[in-house]
Structure 1
Amino acid sequence: MNEMGSGDKALDFIIREMVDTVTNSKDEIFQIGEDSRGEFEKLNKELHEIRKQVTGLINEGDTLEQRVRLSRMRLSEVSKQFQQYSEEEIRKVYEQTHSLQMDLSMTREKEKQLRERRHEIELRLRNLDDTIQRAEALAGKISIVLNYLTEDFKHVSDALESAKEKQEFGLQIIEAQEEERRRLSREIHDGPAQMLANVMLRSDLVERTFNERGINEALSEMKNVRKLVRSALYEVRRIIYDLRPMALDDLGLVPTLKKYLATTEEYNNIKISFTLIGEERRLEGKYEVALFRLIQEAVQNAVKHAEPSVIQVAFEMKPQNTNILIKDDGKGFDPNIKKEKSFGLMGMRERVDMVNGDLNIDSSPGEGTIVTIRIPITS
């Protein structure tokens, strides 16, 4: 019995040490992200200024080249008919040509140096952006771990009867954490990481395009790079939302839904409407999380698989229950045909069952999809 008590105290001490370590790690990662973001903004401003200077030097160089050509023509004319000009006039024409050539050479050299600095900054910005994204992803994952440690472990000692049960419980949590890390790793690798790698390749192509085919072609290529950046940003935000949107705790379900749907509409170029029926009110945390995740999963399924032009979301709040309808005009599917690894629908059904709700999916090929959910609200 004494051994069991000492084991409990040792485990509690380890838990406290873990909480402190994880908290300090999260703070350090947050500071790394903030420092990187500050440097990113500073370099971005410098890059903007350098681009303006490069444009000015290009225009100045073009003007000087024209003046040099005219001055050389003048010098050639004077050289051929030197008898008609005085020595002073010939000297002035020669000095003017030489001066213009020097100015042109200096301008082109400044332009070259600024281009090199611009390239260095762009490389640094890409590295900083990668650091910021990784810091945000790590902070999100650490928040999950910290939530387990600070919330769930507060009641572990009272809930478990022996050191053996504590050990088994800890192993289950570690397994869940590792599974979440693997999922996030796959999503980041297949999504933002691939996109950012593509952005790096395409951004290098922009400079070569500018040098070889001119500014119009380069601007066209920049538009493609911008699309890739927007897609990567959307994937990062989606992953953060998948972890847990912070606005859900602060603002409540309806404002968070509106923000999420507006963001999804903007980045996917799909019209998404939201209709609230009934009086808006806050619900118990477990219901707000469940309802948000269900709507999020249904909308994401439509965006990823249905290829719709319009998605309609209706949310009805009644005193004793809530009703949800998500409708799209996409390509639809046969609900009776089970697809391998259809984890989205499986997860929705499991989440609905956890809150004693009902889920119905009405769809057929070419006819769109209607998802209806009913959740009873108990106080």
Structure 2
Amino acid sequence: MLSFLMITAAVQVWSIYVKKIKYKNRKLEEVNIQLESANKIILESVDHIMALYQSVNILTNQGNKEGLIKLLFEYAKKITRSNTVFYYDLSSDYNKVTLDGNNDLLKFLEEIITKDLKKILEYKEPVEMHVLNTRFKIIPVKSAYKDYGILGFEATNSKENIIYKNNMHQLQFLSELISIAFERFYLEEINERLLITEEQNRIANEIHDSVLQRLFSMSCGVFSLMKKLDKYSLEEIQKELNLIRKTTDTVMKELRAKIYSLSWKKSGSSSFAMDIKRYIEDIKKLNNVIIPFSIVGSDELLSCKQKKALHRMICEGIGNAIRHGKAEVIEVSLKIDSHNITLIIIDNGKGFDLDKVSESNAKGLGIQNLYQMTESLCGEIKIDSKLGIGTEIEVSVPNNVLIVKGKEAIV
């Protein structure tokens, strides 16, 4: 009986031990599955973050804050796998919350954040917030001396989940990256104002030291001549007037030189063309690609709205060709005349099936932006893409510019 009891006890102990082992194995399997998912997401996130870093660098150089926030939403959704992402802008006086996802939450998000704004801005790490039974993770976007806004996304995983913890690190990274970009915007604005002030002071000093002094001497000369008209002979009056005329010519030359030094028409450099070339140079350095660029015609024929849209379309076209098409050569040509504007972007990337993309309504943000910007200019866009060959984008925009020749106006 004693042996039987001992054997029974041993079997029970062994059974308990086996159950514990099985339980731990199940836990390990679950953790391994989570780790595999997390590793897969991390690898994808690294690719997204590399592309995001390059895009942020380019958009920051352009000073495009709206484009930067839009890009932030796109990559925040990809990295965190969240359906709803928002940004609360502290620099805006109205429409503070920009949201990509469930728009029903927009009003409530703004009310809650506005109410607890001071407390939220004190956080250094992501914290959780509940809005209409929806969990959000939020974090301030700020530098050492300035608050820019609040970034957040809908949290769908439990706090113990590895993916959830990974998302917290990614959210913090996104916050720091965007804060650096906004800080650069802020410093660029200050630098630009300082440069403008310095240039204004330089021009004012130059005009005061040269042009105004000569104008003052001319005024004195004319006043003196008027007082002595009855005493001067005709020859002496002509001599005085010739002297005043020469002084006037000198003043005109000095003013012309100062005006021409501020005019890009005389210096031969267009800010529109130079901005595009700088963008292309940045892209070439970051991605090791070849991008021939040509512009035919004068960008004087473009309105400010057209310049902004064309600049963005070139950026979108090149960015899509590199990020999605993995292109190595991208040709960009822009033709401008008084009746029409034609932009052509051709790449040798892997291409895509446009019909399938259109049928599935899965157009990426880049293609959507191209269509929207073309539509805003009342133009037409054609996209021809072949798998394994590349993509060609042609944008045609009407350009009804009033050209004046003499007394005749031509539309």
Tell me the TM-score range normalised by the shorter chain. Answer: 0.3 to 0.5
Q: Which has the higher contact order (CA 8 A, sep 6+)?
A: 1
TM-score (norm 1): 0.38
Pair member with larger Rg: 2
| Higher helix proportion | 1
Q: Which has the higher strand share?
A: 2
Q: TM-score, normalised by structure 2?
A: 0.35
